[in-house]
Amino acid sequence: MKGIRVRLEQDLKAAAARLRRMDGNVALEEIPGVIGDNSPFADEVDTIQLNEHREIGFATRELLVDRVHRLKTALERLREGQYGTCVECGETIAPARLRVMPEVETCVRCQDRLERYGRQLQTVEAAFGVEDED
């Protein structure tokens, strides 16, 4: 389990660096023609492209923030000696699973159960959420 800390720290550093670059608005400068083009048609096209680009950027950013958060939690759990133990059932998480996703907090069985529970909730909400009043 010794290489895990290095792996987690590297992943955390890489994700944080990407996030910083995004926050620095470098993405805007990467689009050709946005700066220094005065033709109105070009502006219109650029605005559309820019908006699309931004939406993709926001989605990616959310994923990155999420990942940074999970990696930090994993490092904390490693310090506390909790790492590699499922937060749901307390069983040991399979090393193969940790190699693929070092930031996971649950074993395969609990992950599966949680996902199914989430889907059930959605189904219940869909069935009962529509007709509450009247």
Say whether residue 98 binds Zn ion (CB under 5 A). Answer: no
Taking the least distance from each CB to Zn ion, the nearer of 78 and 94 is 94
Dmax (CA) for the chain in angstroms is: 63
Binding to Zn ion by CB under 5 A, coded x per residue (else -) over 53-92, reads ---------------------------------x-xx---
Long-range contacts of 105-114 (CB under 8 A, 24+ apart): 105/70, 105/73, 105/74, 105/77, 110/86, 113/88, 114/88
The residue (of 63 and 89) whose beta carbon lies closer to Zn ion is 89
Comparison of 49 and 111: residue with beta carbon closer to Zn ion: 111
Judged by CB under 5 A, the number of residues near Zn ion is 5
The residues binding Zn ion (CB under 5 A) are 86, 88-89, 107, 110
